[in-house]
């Protein structure tokens, strides 16, 4: 699962730097919003995993 998460993060980072803009101060707000949503989802998922690990739920579910 960690390798998959790393692949997703790498893909998102590469998507931000693939297109070079003529003016560096003109932002693509749709891409920025989507990147923010992906980052937020990853943080929330990580927080849930930490909470479940502290409660030993993963030992019961055999994950």
Q: What is the pLDDT of residues 20-57, one digit of tens each?
A: 556 667 778 888 899 999 999 999 999 888 888 776 65
| Whether 5 contacts 42, CB under 8 Å | yes
pLDDT level of residue 9 (50, 70, 90 thresholds): confident
Say how many domains are in the chain: 1
pLDDT level of residue 19 (50, 70, 90 thresholds): low
Q: Can you give the residue range of the structural domain that contains 51?
A: 2-61
pTM: 0.49
What does the pLDDT read at residue 29? 87
| Whether 12 contacts 35, CB under 8 Å | yes
C-alpha 2: how far from its chain's center? Answer: 12
């Amino acid at each position: 699962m960690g390798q998959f998460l790393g692949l997703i993060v790498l893909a998102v980072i590469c998507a931000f730097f693939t297109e070079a803009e003529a003016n560096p101060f003109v932002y693509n707000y749709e891409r920025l919003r989507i990147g923010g949503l992906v980052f937020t989802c990853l943080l929330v998922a990580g927080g849930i995993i930490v909470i479940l690990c502290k409660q030993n739920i993963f030992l019961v579910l055999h994950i």
